[in-house]
Structure 1
Amino acid sequence: MSFNKFPPKPKYDPNDGPVYLYGLHTVRAALDNPLRVKKELLATPNALSRLNEIGQIGKVKVRETTPKELDRLLGGDAVHQGAALEVEPVSRFGLNDVKQLRLVVVLDQLTDPHNVGAILRTACAFGADAVITTARHSPQETGVMAKAASGALDLVPMIEVTNLASAIETLKERGLIVLGFDSDAPAPLRPRTDDRPMAVVLGAEGKGLRQRTRELCDEMVRLDMPGPIKSLNVSNAAAIALFAATAGRQE
């Protein structure tokens, strides 16, 4: 494949401008997602070769670049591995768009893109059918979130809702038990022994779940930790919660 050569792009601003996904796993997942609108692939010759080893590039325009140019475009902290893909943000789903809901992760106003991305990656690993976020007080898609998700942003449907309480009630109507996590909950988390569909609800670090969200949960549990550190990053807590939630699954 031949490269197209163009003038340098202006420095990327994740809060105002095009969306760039970067890193080989993230870019490959986006290239493989037929629902993703892909504008331009910026890649070094070595990165393009590695991407081609895994799958087809498709009809996306390819621009030759260098690691230095990608550092300038994305910032020195971006671990791009020689590849960045300019895209339209992934389409958000509605609850009715996902027909099967056996395992859902619900995020109550989590705003940190690193945490949301890491939770997406964990949700994908445990076979979650969707991740629900609020329309307000949740991060928009950025390269930071996509990199933390390591491709899961293109693999797990993200459902954005304006009214989280109504969404939780809908999940219950569809047969899911709703399990909320709070450090002051009366019962400790135990591995599930049943195979009932479940929604795992996590709140923002510091604030936790809002009162109305807690009221709608069928069960409230806490993570007991015997060590000297008594709290975990919410993305770490999500991994433990999903492991426990799926312990009784019959594959």
Structure 2
Amino acid sequence: MVQTDKIEGRNPVMEALKAEREIDKILVAKGAAEGSITKIIGIAKDRGIPVQQVERQKLDQLSESHAHQGIIAFAAAHSYVDVEDILKAAAKKGEDPFIIILDEITDPHNLGSVLRTANAVGAHGVIIPKRRAVGLTAVVAKSSAGAIEYVPVAKVSNLAQTIDKLKEKGLWIIGADMDGEKAFYESDLTGKLALVIGSEGQGIGRLIKEKCDFIVNIPMRGEVSSLNASVAAAVLMYETMKQKATKR
């Protein structure tokens, strides 16, 4: 059973920070930033942990202990890795890096499903942004059906800069979007590559799209104009696995 990812109350949150637990974000009640909460906010900012000011009523709704003292932290259900660790994992297997980049995916079920498929196709890791995206929550862990234990996830401050670094390492960056030049199955998805999947509502952001080497589309013949993000990711991942296997 996956434990709750919420840490409630000033002392528990401070202790979690002292113990260097992986924290995805911290919610603080508006007007509660004093004393120990001010210290917590300072530590969080130093570590790049997002802190959001919310109405106290929001914390009341989220609280399971009903003693949140104006602060709730969301701990990661699993540790994050560095992007370099993902590249090393590929090198250790003697394989070309195969990475999934998720641009602002906010639905935990989608992230969990992507991790599950990434494990199934042998992808070496997943990269997510620190802000405006879901992290490794308990819901993600459950949705991944255990894949969270096997698929390394890197959480980065700047997705665009990370893509530039991957390009320097020789990776091709391939985005999936409705306005892609070619259908995904007409495109070369072999070699060192990272697939970029956009958010559920907005797709890939403009800056990230500009960083892609090329964009592929998934043809849609029905009335619905787009696929769920995790389904789109699965379609592309399996095509990549097929092409890599065929090229060997």
2: CA distance, partners of 1:167 / 1:93: 14
From 129, 139, 148, the equivalent of 1:144 is 139
Instruction: List runs of 5+ in structure 2 lacking aligned partners.
Output: 9-21, 23-63, 65-74, 91-95
Residue of structure 1 equivalent to 2:82? 94
Q: Where has structure 1 moved over 3 Å in runs of 4 or more?
A: 12-17, 191-195
Residue of structure 1 equivalent to 2:111? 116
Q: Helix, strand or coil for the counterpart of 2:244?
A: coil
Residue 238 of structure 1 pairs with residue 233 of structure 2: yes
Q: Helix, strand or coil for the counterpart of 1:231?
A: coil
Which structure is higher in helix share? 2
2: CA distance, partners of 1:194 / 1:104: 12
Please say if residues 92 and 160 of structure 1, whose CA atoms lie closer than 8 Å, have aligned partners that are also in contact.
Answer: yes
Deviations 1:148-170 (A, max 9, x none): 10111110100111010111111
Please say if residues 204 and 234 of structure 1, whose CA atoms lie closer than 8 Å, have aligned partners that are also in contact.
Answer: yes
Residue 197 of structure 1 pairs with residue 185 of structure 2: no
Residue 165 of structure 1 pairs with residue 153 of structure 2: no
Normalized against structure 1, the TM-score is what? 0.63
From 207, 210, 219, the equivalent of 1:215 is 210
| One-letter amino acid of the structure 1 residue matched with residue 191 of structure 2 | R
Give the root-mean-square deviation of aligned CA atoms. Answer: 2.6
2: CA distance, partners of 1:237 / 1:185: 13
| One-letter amino acid of the structure 1 residue matched with residue 233 of structure 2 | A
Deviation (angstroms), 1:193: 5.2
Please say if residues 115 and 147 of structure 2, whose CA atoms lie closer than 8 Å, have aligned partners that are also in contact.
Answer: yes
Q: Helix, strand or coil for the counterpart of 1:109?
A: coil
Normalized against structure 2, the TM-score is what? 0.64
Please say if residues 182 and 222 of structure 1, whose CA atoms lie closer than 8 Å, have aligned partners that are also in contact.
Answer: yes
2: CA distance, partners of 1:193 / 1:180: 13
Instruction: List runs of 5+ in structure 1 lacking aligned partners.
Output: 1-11, 18-36, 38-73, 75-86
Please say if residues 192 and 247 of structure 1, whose CA atoms lie closer than 8 Å, have aligned partners that are also in contact.
Answer: no
Deviations 1:167-217 (A, max 9, x none): 111111112111001112232212555631110001101111111100110
Residue of structure 1 equivalent to 2:178? 183
Deviation (angstroms), 1:103: 0.5
